[in-house]
Structure formats: C-alpha cells, structure tokens
Amino acid sequence: MEYLSEKDFLLAFGKNLRRIRRAQGFTQAQLANDIGVEISQISRIERGIINTSVGNVNAISSALRVDIKDLFDLS
C-alpha cells in the first residue's frame, strides 16, 4: 500500500470526490445543500485545500449513494 503525504492525499481525495460527484449527476451546490454545508466547502474539499471531517465524508457518501470506501479508492 502506498502512503501519500497529507497534501497529496487531500488532492487525490478531492479529485476522486469530484469524479464521483459528477458521475452521480450532482452539482457542487446540490451536494452542499444535501449535506448542509456551504458550496465553497465542497469546492475547497475537491481542490484539496481543506481536510474535511469524517462526519462530512459520511454525509457525502450517503448523499451520493456510494460506499464510503469508494471515496477513498484513490488508485
């Protein structure tokens, strides 16, 4: 298993989240509204600027109707 620096991990996680969100047909605004956060927070997560909480990751997986493990499939 390859370990990434925190910066690289956040960038990879955000890129994967963006890919999944788009594949599920969600806009950033729709996802933000569904989980009760600002649109800018989704944008910052997707750009790897912030390290979001585990609670938000759980809410995102629920809103997108994907397994939480899929959000961490960074390969």
pLDDT single digits (tens) 12-55: 999 999 999 999 999 999 999 999 999 999 999 999 999 999 99
Tell whether 1 is covered by a domain: no
Tell whether 32 is covered by a domain: yes
Q: How confident is the model at residue 1, as a pLDDT?
A: 53
Determine the angle formed by the axes of helices 39-46 and 28-35, rounding to 10 degrees: 110
pLDDT tens sequence across 50-74: 999 999 999 999 999 999 999 999 9
Tell whether 20 is covered by a domain: yes
CATH number assigned to the domain comprising residue 24: 1.10.260.40
Contacts of 14 (CB under 8 A, 6+ apart): 45, 46, 47, 48
Residue 38 in contact with residue 73, Cβ under 8 Å? no
Range of the domain at 55: 6-71
Q: How confident is the model at residue 2, as a pLDDT?
A: 72
The total of structural domains in the chain comes to 1
